[in-house]
Amino acid sequence: MPSSGLSSTHRPRSTGESEKVKTNVKNPALGPYEAACLLGCHWTRVSRMADKGELRSRQLRSHRGSKRLRIYSLTDIESNWTDYQYLLRTGQLPRRPRANEHLRPGMLSEIRKMENHIEFDDAVGAVEASEILGVWHTWLRALLAKDAISGRRLISHRDGSSRTMIYSRKSCEKNVQEARKMASSGATHGRPRHAL
């Protein structure tokens, strides 16, 4: 696990230091805005923290071929937050306090409400999911609606619903196996997928 960049000493955790996020997976993937709210900083700072090695991140491919979407590890975010709270409480913080700490409680409740978390190492973007499944990327939402694959919408800082989705690689690979079985038994309808 990367260092939080704040301190390398072991500290006992005091009661009430930070509220832990409980999810249905071990280490969920979070989007930039979700990570920023949990860290109490601006959403553009999170990528700089990852570049410095303070957080683990992965870049997912986009339709334009560039790696535009970055996801972050909840485990590293919580570790960084705990270190930050300790330094803030003991007066050892090397810079001014984070400006958006007030956003953390709201995001904690949003993340707790989510039913379909995606594991950090299992998450893929729409391009990779459509390549695995052998379908056009616009078909992913229909597969998601039928519970054929697992995915979730990332929370955005913009008003309205976010269009950015992450999907579970394992669920996509499982769907391909099921589609291959159906194709071999002759039970499929419509055009064949190009990945089968």
Q: Is 46 left (phi over 0), alpha (psi -120 to 50) or beta?
A: alpha
Q: What is the pLDDT of residue 27?
A: 92
| Per-residue 3-state assignment (H helix, E strand, C coil) for 74-136 | HHHHHHHHHHHHHHHHHCCCCCCCCCCHHHHHHHHHHHHHCCCCCECCCEECHHHHHHHHCCC
Q: Do 144 and 153 touch, CB atoms closer than 8 A?
A: no
Phi, psi of 153 (to 5 degrees): -90, 135
Q: What is the pLDDT of residue 9?
A: 41
Q: Which two tokens stand for residue 23?
A: 């999810």
Q: What is the pLDDT of residue 192?
A: 63
CB neighbours (10 Å) of residue 116?
15
Q: Do 41 and 25 touch, CB atoms closer than 8 A?
A: no
Q: How many Cα atoms occupy the beta-carbon half-sphere of 50 within 13 Å?
A: 22
Task: Please give the single-letter amino acid code of residue 11.
Answer: R
pTM of this structure: 0.81
pLDDT in tens, the chain (196 residues): 554 454 434 444 433 344 666 677 889 999 999 999 999 999 889 999 999 999 999 999 877 666 678 999 999 999 999 999 999 999 998 888 999 999 999 999 999 898 889 999 999 999 999 999 988 888 999 999 999 999 999 998 776 667 789 999 999 999 999 888 887 887 666 666 655 5
Rounded alpha-carbon distances, angstroms, from residue 30 to 49, 97, 102, 128:
14, 23, 18, 17
Q: What is the pLDDT of residue 8?
A: 39
Q: What is the pLDDT of residue 185?
A: 81
Q: What is the pLDDT of residue 71?
A: 95
Q: What is the pLDDT of residue 164?
A: 87
H helix or E strand, kind and range, residue 168: strand 165-168
